[in-house]
Structure 1
Amino acid sequence: MTGYYDIVLGLIPVALLGITAALTVVGVALTTAVPIGSLAAIALIGHAMFVKAPVTPSEESQPNHSGINAD
């Protein structure tokens, strides 16, 4: 099953290379196209990290293990 983060990991190089190639074909200089493509890749990474961040279940929803506490 492909999840959100699998798709993001696949889209990072696609955004970097695809946008760079598309802008180069249109006539934008390579030294300008690469930073624009990298900004799109950075936006994908930022969205995955901060907007739809991976979360762990809260401690309340985890089962209560009443074992020996080492502290």
Structure 2
Amino acid sequence: MTGYYDFILGLIPLSLIGVTATLSVLGFSLTSAVPLAASIPVALIGHALFVNSPVEDTQSSPETVESSSSTSFEAAD
């Protein structure tokens, strides 16, 4: 199943390459087209991290959480 973050990961290189190529065709030099085009992937990453932030899976059962937290660690001596 393709989710939101899968689309973001696909759009990052596509937008960088596509917008850079478009700006180059429109007459911008490559040294100015790349930083201008990089603002699009930065905005996508910012949206994915801060606006639509990843959350933990709330469907895990309480038994699973209790069993994983009850394990004890012993010294390696």
Q: Structure 1 length normalisation: TM-score?
A: 0.80
- 2-side partners of 1:55 and 1:42: how far apart? 21
- RMSD over aligned CA atoms reads 2.2
Amino acid in the other structure paired with 1:37: A
Q: How does 1:1-71 map to 2 (within 5 A)?
A: 1-57=1-57, 63=62, 65=66, 68=70, 70=72
| Structure 1 outlier segments of 4+, above 6 Å | none
Q: Which structure 1 residue ranges, 5 or more long, are not aligned?
A: none
Aligned length: 69
Q: Which structure 2 residue ranges, 5 or more long, are not aligned?
A: 73-77
Shift of 1:37: 1.0
Q: Sequence identity of aligned pairs in percent?
A: 53
**Greater helix percent: which structure?**
2
Q: Structure 2 length normalisation: TM-score?
A: 0.75
